[in-house]
Amino acid sequence: MTSASLNILIIEDADIIVHQLRILLSDKNSSYNIRSANSAELGLELVDKSFPDVFILDIKLPGISGIDLLNKIKQDYPLASPLIIILTNMPHAIYKHACLSKGANFFLDKSRDFLVLPEILDSYFFKFNPPNSSLCNSPL
């Protein structure tokens, strides 16, 4: 991650969801560089070009599933520690357990948790880019 931006890769096959995520995240923070792919295979091509700080993955994708993609990310990049968010319409406990046990940081329901994404990303971004503390401590 550069000190000025957060590189986000959305891997989602529903164009409307990608569009809504771009609007939601672009409005919230201009420090986000957002790329997207509509399949795991295309997402992996983007990963090879530039490894993202954050993955937002759907479970049900054409070809390789989001869960298989999560496994592949963890297996192929064992030293990387990206933030991995599963955003799905399949919020069943079995999927949640599988994703979290395989290394996802968050498991979110598209219909219920969509609007918490900016808060999660802001927390992650500010963890690595704290506000300039010298400005806060300067005497007036």
Q: Which two tokens stand for residue 63?
A: 């070809």
Mind listing the pLDDT tens digit of every residue in the chain (140 residues)?
555 689 999 999 999 999 999 999 986 556 889 999 999 999 999 999 999 999 999 999 999 999 999 999 999 999 999 999 999 999 999 999 999 999 999 999 999 999 999 999 988 887 777 665 444 443 44
Q: Which two tokens stand for residue 31?
A: 């420090």
Q: Which amino acid is at 40?
A: A
| Helices 93-101/66-76 angle, 10° precision | 10
